[in-house]
Amino acid sequence: MTEITIRGAGIFGLSIAWACAERGARVQVVDPNGVGAGASGGIVGALAPHVPENWNAKKAFQFESLIAAKSFWQRVENIGGASSGYARLGRVQPIMDAASLELALMRTETAKDLWRGLAEWRVTKYEPEWAPVSPTGHWIIDTLTARINPICACRALEAALLTKGVKIIPESEDKGKVLWATGTHDLFHISEKLGKTFGRGVKGQAALFDLDRRHQPQVFADTLHFVPHADGTLAVGSTSERDYKTERSVDDHLEILIAKASRIMPDLASAQIITRWAALRPRTQSRTPIIGYHPVRTGAFIANGGFKIGFGMAPRLAMLLANLLLEERDEIPETFRPETYL
């Protein structure tokens, strides 16, 4: 039985632990701060695809992972008995001008090929039940986008892992193969060891409203995600701040976001704000998740850099890391390898 130590109890660490435990490995997850203590403990949870054009390895990988997400989260929920909040209800986007309308129509055609009939991207002139105003009178509908409740998803993985005898502990010596999935903490460490910026933390702030739209698709408008959750809340986010004074405190950036969100979706103006959230999210210099052999920790492995797309990438990423850790089967795309950026 292979022994695995995973450092970091965010979405990457937990999903890889689950993929390894499912195959019979003896796994321990080590995190002094507990489950979902960092960026993975967020409130937004938009599992949204890249646009269907200029296809590359990253976009293809994310597409395959989004398609795999339903069965991945269903099994996690069935085994552990806890809800992740996952649902693939699609997304609505207003089309703001004639040029954007032409581009959206073109993407309707490219999606037919690139999404292989597994999901749809289309333009409609019929106003959706819950949608922002569209200056052109047209909206984009995609059926690939899904929602998840980030902290609930982490706890669902924890519950499933417990059924396999895997516990999340605050500290332990390394046992067996070691994988680091500690987000910004490790990116800062790598940058310091290399003497150059390998990655950074980008602060995000978001708000959670008491507004029940649980049966509606997500909305994406003017860079904001509006994500209705199954518990009757609605999350809006997030900011992307490279410059910040404190990592976890909310400030005027969030108040500006809330005001902007209320202008886009007026029913938010009268809704109570339940939570204001802020945290650092790990972003590599390439903006691509980094997985494979660790660039500075000898003999170790890494999974990091899930900036904005970590939950969407997790199902497929976990499978590839389990293949590498348990079978020494390396199927990692070149653009995801740390050595590509050294």
Kindly report the CATH number assigned to the domain that includes residue 230. Answer: 3.30.9.10
Instruction: Give tens-digit pLDDT for 9-49.
Output: 999 999 999 999 999 999 999 999 999 999 999 999 999 99
End-to-end Cα separation, the chain, in angstroms: 34
Q: What would the two tokens of residue 296 be?
A: 């500075």
Question: What pLDDT, on the 0 to 100 scale, is given for residue 19?
Answer: 98
Helices (H), the chain: 11-22, 57-80, 98-114, 150-163, 184-194, 252-264, 310-327
**Averaged pLDDT, 221-231:** 98
Looking at 101, 128, 143, the residue that finishes a domain is 143
Rounded to the nearest 5°, which phi and psi values hold at 324? -70, -45
Q: Which domain holds residue 139?
A: 91-143
Q: Peptide bond before 134: cis, by omega within 30 degrees of 0? A: no
Residue 124 C-beta-side C-alpha neighbours within 13 Å: 13
Check: CB of residue 9 under 8 Å from CB of residue 34: yes
**Averaged pLDDT, 264-291:** 96
Looking at 284, 308, 332, the residue that finishes a domain is 284
Kindly report the CATH number assigned to the domain that includes residue 9. Answer: 3.50.50.60
**Averaged pLDDT, 66-93:** 98
Rounded distance between C-alpha atoms, residue 245 and residue 234, angstroms:
27
Q: What would the two tokens of residue 69 be?
A: 């997400």
**Same-domain status, 193 and 262:** no
**Same-domain status, 79 and 204:** no
Letter for the amino acid at 67? Answer: I
Q: What would the two tokens of residue 194 be?
A: 């290399």
Q: Put residue 255 in one of left, alpha, beta given phi > 0 → left and psi -120 to 50 → alpha.
A: alpha
Rounded distance between C-alpha atoms, residue 208 and residue 229, angstroms:
10
> Where do we find the tokens 């980094």?
290
Instruction: Give tens-digit pLDDT for 195-210.
Output: 999 999 999 999 999 9
Q: How far is CA 50 from CA 53, 57, 322, 339, in A?
A: 8, 12, 25, 25
**Same-domain status, 151 and 258:** no
**Same-domain status, 9 and 151:** yes
Q: Give the number of other CB atoms < 10 A from CB of residue 106.
A: 12
**Same-domain status, 44 and 8:** yes
**Same-domain status, 219 and 328:** no
Question: What pLDDT, on the 0 to 100 scale, is given for residue 342?
Answer: 87
Instruction: Give residue 112's pLDDT band: very low, low, confident or very high (50, 70, 90).
Output: very high
Q: Give the number of other CB atoms < 10 A from CB of residue 172.
A: 12
> Where do we find the tokens 């348990």?
326
**Same-domain status, 193 and 290:** yes
* Percent of the chain clearing pLDDT 90 (strictly above): 98
**Same-domain status, 149 and 256:** no
Question: What pLDDT, on the 0 to 100 scale, is given for residue 1?
Answer: 78
Consecutive H or E run containing 302: strand 301-304
Rounded distance between C-alpha atoms, residue 260 and residue 132, angstroms:
12
Rounded distance between C-alpha atoms, residue 129 and residue 202, angstroms:
34
**Same-domain status, 203 and 242:** yes
Q: Which residues contact 279 (CB under 8 A, 6 or more apart)?
A: 38, 39, 41, 42, 203, 204, 247, 248
Rounded distance between C-alpha atoms, residue 269 and residue 86, angstroms:
26
Q: Give the number of other CB atoms < 10 A from CB of residue 121.
A: 23
Q: Give the number of other CB atoms < 10 A from CB of residue 87.
A: 19
Domain count, the chain: 3
Rounded distance between C-alpha atoms, residue 108 and residue 100, angstroms:
12
**Same-domain status, 46 and 139:** no
**Same-domain status, 59 and 155:** yes
Angle formed by the axes of helices 310-327 and 57-80, nearest 10°: 80
Looking at 284, 300, 333, the residue that finishes a domain is 284
Instruction: Give tens-digit pLDDT for 121-162.
Output: 999 999 999 999 999 999 999 999 999 999 999 999 999 999
Provide the CA 63 distance to its chain's centre, in angstroms.
Answer: 13
Instruction: Give residue 192's pLDDT band: very low, low, confident or very high (50, 70, 90).
Output: very high
**Same-domain status, 60 and 168:** yes
> Where do we find the tokens 């970590």?
310
Instruction: Give tens-digit pLDDT for 162-176.
Output: 999 999 999 999 999
